[in-house]
A and B are shown apart, each in its own frame.
Chain A
Amino acid sequence: MDSVLRAVAVYAFLLVVLRISGRRTLAQMTPFDLVLLLIISEAAQQALLGDDFSITGGILVVITLLAIDIALSLLKGYVPSSAKLIDGLPMVVVENGALLQERMRRARIDEGDILESARETQGLERIDQIKFAVIEITGSITVIPKDR
Protein backbone atom coordinates (compact mmCIF):
# COMPACT_ATOMS: atom_id res chain seq x y z
CA MET A 1 0.00 0.00 0.00
CA ASP A 2 2.79 2.32 1.00
CA SER A 3 4.65 1.98 -2.33
CA VAL A 4 1.53 2.78 -4.37
CA LEU A 5 0.69 5.85 -2.28
CA ARG A 6 4.26 7.09 -2.51
CA ALA A 7 4.29 6.67 -6.29
CA VAL A 8 0.93 8.44 -6.71
CA ALA A 9 2.03 11.33 -4.47
CA VAL A 10 5.35 11.80 -6.25
CA TYR A 11 3.75 11.53 -9.71
CA ALA A 12 1.11 14.13 -8.86
CA PHE A 13 3.67 16.42 -7.25
CA LEU A 14 6.05 16.25 -10.21
CA LEU A 15 3.21 16.81 -12.68
CA VAL A 16 2.11 19.98 -10.88
CA VAL A 17 5.56 21.36 -10.18
CA LEU A 18 6.87 20.80 -13.70
CA ARG A 19 3.72 22.38 -15.11
CA ILE A 20 4.22 25.40 -12.82
CA SER A 21 7.86 25.81 -13.76
CA GLY A 22 6.78 26.20 -17.37
CA ARG A 23 7.63 24.13 -20.41
CA ARG A 24 10.75 26.07 -21.29
CA THR A 25 12.46 25.36 -17.98
CA LEU A 26 13.68 21.86 -18.78
CA ALA A 27 13.05 21.76 -22.52
CA GLN A 28 16.30 23.40 -23.54
CA MET A 29 18.89 20.89 -22.49
CA THR A 30 21.95 22.86 -21.58
CA PRO A 31 24.55 20.73 -19.76
CA PHE A 32 23.44 22.35 -16.53
CA ASP A 33 19.78 21.41 -17.14
CA LEU A 34 20.85 17.81 -17.64
CA VAL A 35 22.61 17.78 -14.27
CA LEU A 36 19.61 19.51 -12.67
CA LEU A 37 17.32 16.82 -14.08
CA LEU A 38 19.55 14.09 -12.64
CA ILE A 39 19.51 15.74 -9.22
CA ILE A 40 15.72 16.11 -9.33
CA SER A 41 15.31 12.44 -10.19
CA GLU A 42 17.68 11.48 -7.39
CA ALA A 43 15.71 13.55 -4.87
CA ALA A 44 12.41 12.09 -6.05
CA GLN A 45 13.81 8.56 -5.97
CA GLN A 46 14.38 8.78 -2.21
CA ALA A 47 10.76 9.72 -1.66
CA LEU A 48 9.55 6.91 -3.94
CA LEU A 49 11.37 4.06 -2.26
CA GLY A 50 12.42 5.28 1.19
CA ASP A 51 14.57 2.58 2.74
CA ASP A 52 12.78 -0.23 0.94
CA PHE A 53 15.44 -2.18 -0.92
CA SER A 54 13.18 -5.06 -1.99
CA ILE A 55 12.55 -6.03 -5.59
CA THR A 56 8.83 -6.01 -4.83
CA GLY A 57 8.98 -2.41 -3.68
CA GLY A 58 10.77 -1.32 -6.86
CA ILE A 59 8.41 -3.28 -9.10
CA LEU A 60 5.33 -1.85 -7.37
CA VAL A 61 6.57 1.72 -7.80
CA VAL A 62 7.40 1.21 -11.50
CA ILE A 63 4.06 -0.48 -12.19
CA THR A 64 2.15 2.25 -10.35
CA LEU A 65 3.92 5.05 -12.24
CA LEU A 66 3.25 3.39 -15.59
CA ALA A 67 -0.37 2.64 -14.63
CA ILE A 68 -1.01 6.30 -13.76
CA ASP A 69 0.67 7.36 -16.99
CA ILE A 70 -1.51 5.03 -19.07
CA ALA A 71 -4.64 6.08 -17.19
CA LEU A 72 -3.85 9.75 -17.82
CA SER A 73 -3.21 9.15 -21.53
CA LEU A 74 -6.59 7.38 -21.76
CA LEU A 75 -8.22 10.29 -19.95
CA LYS A 76 -6.63 12.72 -22.41
CA GLY A 77 -8.15 10.70 -25.25
CA TYR A 78 -11.67 10.73 -23.83
CA VAL A 79 -11.65 14.22 -22.31
CA PRO A 80 -9.74 16.61 -24.61
CA SER A 81 -9.91 19.47 -22.09
CA SER A 82 -7.87 17.38 -19.65
CA ALA A 83 -5.08 17.15 -22.23
CA LYS A 84 -5.14 20.91 -22.48
CA LEU A 85 -4.83 21.15 -18.72
CA ILE A 86 -2.04 18.60 -18.36
CA ASP A 87 0.06 19.35 -21.44
CA GLY A 88 -0.93 22.89 -22.37
CA LEU A 89 -1.39 24.08 -25.96
CA PRO A 90 1.02 25.09 -28.73
CA MET A 91 1.31 28.79 -29.50
CA VAL A 92 2.40 30.87 -32.50
CA VAL A 93 5.28 33.27 -31.76
CA VAL A 94 6.28 34.32 -35.29
CA GLU A 95 3.66 35.01 -37.94
CA ASN A 96 4.69 35.90 -41.48
CA GLY A 97 8.08 37.18 -40.39
CA ALA A 98 6.70 39.26 -37.49
CA LEU A 99 7.58 38.55 -33.88
CA LEU A 100 4.69 38.40 -31.43
CA GLN A 101 6.76 40.08 -28.73
CA GLU A 102 4.35 40.05 -25.82
CA ARG A 103 3.66 36.34 -26.27
CA MET A 104 7.39 35.63 -26.36
CA ARG A 105 7.99 37.62 -23.20
CA ARG A 106 5.28 35.76 -21.29
CA ALA A 107 6.55 32.41 -22.55
CA ARG A 108 10.10 33.42 -21.56
CA ILE A 109 11.72 33.01 -24.97
CA ASP A 110 13.62 35.58 -27.01
CA GLU A 111 14.48 36.19 -30.65
CA GLY A 112 17.73 34.29 -30.16
CA ASP A 113 15.87 31.10 -29.19
CA ILE A 114 13.73 31.31 -32.32
CA LEU A 115 16.70 32.01 -34.58
CA GLU A 116 18.62 29.14 -33.00
CA SER A 117 15.80 26.75 -33.84
CA ALA A 118 15.46 28.27 -37.33
CA ARG A 119 19.16 27.71 -38.05
CA GLU A 120 19.18 24.25 -36.56
CA THR A 121 16.10 22.83 -38.23
CA GLN A 122 15.67 24.90 -41.41
CA GLY A 123 19.02 26.55 -42.09
CA LEU A 124 17.38 30.00 -41.97
CA GLU A 125 19.30 33.16 -41.19
CA ARG A 126 16.72 35.84 -40.42
CA ILE A 127 13.32 36.19 -38.76
CA ASP A 128 11.79 37.52 -42.00
CA GLN A 129 12.47 34.17 -43.67
CA ILE A 130 10.12 32.50 -41.16
CA LYS A 131 6.46 32.00 -41.99
CA PHE A 132 5.50 30.52 -38.64
CA ALA A 133 7.38 29.69 -35.47
CA VAL A 134 5.44 27.72 -32.87
CA ILE A 135 6.22 26.83 -29.25
CA GLU A 136 5.14 23.23 -28.99
CA ILE A 137 3.77 21.59 -25.84
CA THR A 138 7.18 19.94 -25.37
CA GLY A 139 8.71 23.42 -25.07
CA SER A 140 10.65 23.15 -28.31
CA ILE A 141 10.26 25.77 -31.05
CA THR A 142 9.33 24.54 -34.51
CA VAL A 143 9.87 26.71 -37.56
CA ILE A 144 8.04 26.77 -40.89
CA PRO A 145 9.99 28.74 -43.57
CA LYS A 146 8.41 31.10 -46.08
CA ASP A 147 8.12 29.78 -49.63
CA ARG A 148 11.21 30.69 -51.59
Chain B
Amino acid sequence: MPSTPPENDIWRNRTYPIKEDMAFQRATWRAERIGWAVLWLIVLLALLGLFSHGPLSTASVETPDGGLRVTYERFQRNGSPAEIRLEARPRSERRLAISLDARMLDAVTIETITPAPQAERAIAGGIELVFHAEPGAPLTVRLTVRPHKIGLVAGAIGIGASRPAELTQFVYP
Protein backbone atom coordinates (compact mmCIF):
# COMPACT_ATOMS: atom_id res chain seq x y z
CA MET B 1 0.00 0.00 0.00
CA PRO B 2 1.61 3.29 -1.07
CA SER B 3 1.97 5.78 1.75
CA THR B 4 0.51 9.28 1.62
CA PRO B 5 2.64 12.26 2.68
CA PRO B 6 1.14 14.82 5.10
CA GLU B 7 -1.25 17.43 3.66
CA ASN B 8 1.04 20.43 4.20
CA ASP B 9 3.78 18.71 2.21
CA ILE B 10 1.61 18.24 -0.88
CA TRP B 11 1.98 21.81 -2.17
CA ARG B 12 5.67 22.26 -1.31
CA ASN B 13 7.71 23.19 -4.40
CA ARG B 14 9.94 20.29 -5.45
CA THR B 15 13.27 21.22 -6.95
CA TYR B 16 14.28 17.72 -7.98
CA PRO B 17 13.91 16.07 -10.53
CA ILE B 18 12.14 19.16 -11.87
CA LYS B 19 11.71 22.69 -10.60
CA GLU B 20 8.12 23.34 -9.61
CA ASP B 21 6.07 26.48 -9.03
CA MET B 22 3.00 25.17 -7.25
CA ALA B 23 1.52 28.63 -6.64
CA PHE B 24 1.49 29.15 -10.38
CA GLN B 25 0.17 25.63 -10.94
CA ARG B 26 -2.71 26.19 -8.55
CA ALA B 27 -3.50 29.53 -10.17
CA THR B 28 -3.53 27.71 -13.51
CA TRP B 29 -6.05 25.22 -12.15
CA ARG B 30 -8.25 28.01 -10.85
CA ALA B 31 -8.12 29.71 -14.27
CA GLU B 32 -8.91 26.36 -15.87
CA ARG B 33 -12.03 25.91 -13.73
CA ILE B 34 -13.22 29.42 -14.62
CA GLY B 35 -12.49 28.61 -18.26
CA TRP B 36 -14.67 25.49 -18.11
CA ALA B 37 -17.54 27.53 -16.68
CA VAL B 38 -17.13 29.98 -19.55
CA LEU B 39 -17.18 27.12 -22.09
CA TRP B 40 -20.40 25.73 -20.63
CA LEU B 41 -21.91 29.20 -20.54
CA ILE B 42 -21.08 29.71 -24.21
CA VAL B 43 -22.72 26.38 -25.09
CA LEU B 44 -25.83 27.41 -23.17
CA LEU B 45 -25.97 30.86 -24.80
CA ALA B 46 -25.45 29.27 -28.21
CA LEU B 47 -28.42 26.98 -27.54
CA LEU B 48 -30.47 30.02 -26.60
CA GLY B 49 -29.49 31.70 -29.84
CA LEU B 50 -27.02 34.40 -28.82
CA PHE B 51 -24.91 33.39 -31.81
CA SER B 52 -27.82 33.30 -34.28
CA HIS B 53 -30.60 30.76 -34.88
CA GLY B 54 -32.46 30.54 -31.57
CA PRO B 55 -35.05 32.20 -29.34
CA LEU B 56 -32.76 35.09 -28.38
CA SER B 57 -32.02 35.76 -32.02
CA THR B 58 -35.44 35.69 -33.65
CA ALA B 59 -37.04 39.11 -33.78
CA SER B 60 -39.74 40.80 -35.73
CA VAL B 61 -40.84 44.34 -36.49
CA GLU B 62 -43.81 45.84 -38.25
CA THR B 63 -44.13 48.90 -40.36
CA PRO B 64 -45.90 51.69 -38.43
CA ASP B 65 -49.11 51.18 -40.41
CA GLY B 66 -49.04 47.42 -39.86
CA GLY B 67 -48.92 46.59 -43.56
CA LEU B 68 -45.73 44.53 -43.42
CA ARG B 69 -44.25 42.27 -40.81
CA VAL B 70 -40.53 41.49 -40.96
CA THR B 71 -39.14 38.47 -39.09
CA TYR B 72 -35.36 38.36 -38.97
CA GLU B 73 -32.32 37.13 -37.04
CA ARG B 74 -31.11 39.69 -34.51
CA PHE B 75 -27.71 37.98 -34.56
CA GLN B 76 -26.08 36.78 -37.74
CA ARG B 77 -22.67 35.41 -38.63
CA ASN B 78 -20.44 36.73 -41.34
CA GLY B 79 -20.76 34.61 -44.46
CA SER B 80 -23.46 32.38 -43.03
CA PRO B 81 -26.89 32.55 -44.71
CA ALA B 82 -29.91 33.64 -42.69
CA GLU B 83 -33.54 34.12 -43.55
CA ILE B 84 -35.64 37.27 -43.50
CA ARG B 85 -39.38 36.65 -43.72
CA LEU B 86 -41.71 39.33 -44.98
CA GLU B 87 -45.45 39.00 -44.41
CA ALA B 88 -47.77 41.43 -46.11
CA ARG B 89 -51.54 41.61 -45.96
CA PRO B 90 -52.74 43.34 -49.12
CA ARG B 91 -56.16 44.96 -48.92
CA SER B 92 -57.17 45.68 -52.47
CA GLU B 93 -53.83 45.93 -54.26
CA ARG B 94 -52.84 43.47 -56.96
CA ARG B 95 -49.23 44.58 -56.85
CA LEU B 96 -47.10 45.03 -53.77
CA ALA B 97 -43.86 46.96 -53.85
CA ILE B 98 -41.44 46.07 -51.05
CA SER B 99 -38.42 48.31 -50.64
CA LEU B 100 -35.03 47.55 -49.10
CA ASP B 101 -32.74 50.41 -48.23
CA ALA B 102 -29.16 50.84 -49.33
CA ARG B 103 -27.58 50.36 -45.86
CA MET B 104 -28.93 46.85 -45.83
CA LEU B 105 -27.85 46.10 -49.38
CA ASP B 106 -24.32 47.24 -48.51
CA ALA B 107 -24.11 44.79 -45.62
CA VAL B 108 -25.67 41.63 -47.05
CA THR B 109 -25.84 39.74 -50.30
CA ILE B 110 -29.36 38.67 -51.16
CA GLU B 111 -29.05 35.11 -52.37
CA THR B 112 -32.62 34.06 -53.03
CA ILE B 113 -36.04 35.69 -53.08
CA THR B 114 -39.00 33.31 -52.85
CA PRO B 115 -41.37 33.82 -54.59
CA ALA B 116 -39.43 35.58 -57.34
CA PRO B 117 -40.51 39.20 -57.73
CA GLN B 118 -42.13 40.31 -60.96
CA ALA B 119 -39.76 43.22 -61.13
CA GLU B 120 -36.74 44.58 -59.33
CA ARG B 121 -35.69 48.14 -59.74
CA ALA B 122 -33.42 50.69 -58.22
CA ILE B 123 -35.13 53.51 -56.40
CA ALA B 124 -33.77 56.47 -54.49
CA GLY B 125 -31.86 55.02 -51.52
CA GLY B 126 -32.30 51.34 -52.27
CA ILE B 127 -34.17 48.82 -54.38
CA GLU B 128 -37.78 47.90 -54.82
CA LEU B 129 -39.20 44.40 -55.36
CA VAL B 130 -42.62 44.17 -56.98
CA PHE B 131 -44.77 41.12 -56.28
CA HIS B 132 -48.05 39.92 -57.65
CA ALA B 133 -50.67 39.79 -54.86
CA GLU B 134 -54.17 38.46 -54.38
CA PRO B 135 -56.34 41.02 -52.57
CA GLY B 136 -57.10 39.80 -49.08
CA ALA B 137 -54.69 36.83 -49.27
CA PRO B 138 -51.52 37.17 -47.20
CA LEU B 139 -48.27 37.31 -49.10
CA THR B 140 -45.15 35.77 -47.58
CA VAL B 141 -41.76 36.46 -49.11
CA ARG B 142 -38.58 34.77 -47.89
CA LEU B 143 -35.21 36.34 -48.48
CA THR B 144 -32.02 34.39 -47.93
CA VAL B 145 -29.28 36.85 -47.08
CA ARG B 146 -25.57 36.34 -46.55
CA PRO B 147 -23.93 39.07 -44.46
CA HIS B 148 -20.51 40.27 -45.51
CA LYS B 149 -20.10 43.21 -43.15
CA ILE B 150 -19.16 42.67 -39.50
CA GLY B 151 -20.73 44.50 -36.57
CA LEU B 152 -23.96 46.41 -36.20
CA VAL B 153 -25.94 46.58 -39.40
CA ALA B 154 -29.05 48.72 -39.68
CA GLY B 155 -31.60 48.53 -42.42
CA ALA B 156 -35.11 49.45 -43.36
CA ILE B 157 -37.75 47.41 -45.17
CA GLY B 158 -40.95 49.06 -46.29
CA ILE B 159 -44.04 48.45 -48.32
CA GLY B 160 -45.58 50.88 -50.76
CA ALA B 161 -45.27 54.51 -49.84
CA SER B 162 -45.74 54.09 -46.07
CA ARG B 163 -42.95 54.50 -43.50
CA PRO B 164 -40.58 51.49 -43.53
CA ALA B 165 -39.78 49.19 -40.60
CA GLU B 166 -36.35 49.77 -39.09
CA LEU B 167 -34.28 46.77 -38.05
CA THR B 168 -30.85 46.38 -36.52
CA GLN B 169 -28.77 43.22 -36.72
CA PHE B 170 -25.46 42.28 -35.24
CA VAL B 171 -23.10 40.31 -37.44
CA TYR B 172 -20.43 38.17 -35.73
CA PRO B 173 -17.10 37.81 -37.50
Binds B, one of A53-61, A66-74, A98-106: A98-106
**Contact across chains for B39 and A20 when beta carbons are under 8 A apart:** yes
B25 CB, nearest partner CB in chain A, Å: 6
- Contact status of A134 and B17, CB under 8 A, knowing A51-B79, A100-B10: yes
The distance in angstroms between the C-alpha atoms of A21 and B5, with both chains bound, is 29
Chain A, range 88-107, C-beta contacts under 8 Å to B: 88-92, 95, 97-103, 106-107
The distance in angstroms between the C-alpha atoms of A103 and B38, with both chains bound, is 23
Partner of A92, one of B20, B26, B35, B39: B20
B107 CB, nearest partner CB in chain A, Å: 16
Prevailing SS type, chain A contact patch: mixed
- Contact status of A84 and B24, CB under 8 A, knowing A98-B3, A128-B2: yes
The distance in angstroms between the C-alpha atoms of A100 and B20, with both chains bound, is 14
- Contact status of A91 and B2, CB under 8 A, knowing A20-B35, A144-B17: no
Closest 6 CB pairs of A and B: A20-B35, A127-B2, A90-B18, A92-B14, A98-B3, A102-B10
User: Which A residues are closer than 8 A to B by beta carbons?
Assistant: 9, 16-17, 19-22, 50-51, 84, 88-92, 95, 97-103, 106-107, 127-128, 132, 134, 144
User: Which B residues are closer than 8 A to A by beta carbons?
Assistant: 2-5, 7, 10-11, 14, 17-18, 20-22, 24-26, 28-29, 31-32, 35-36, 38-39, 79, 173
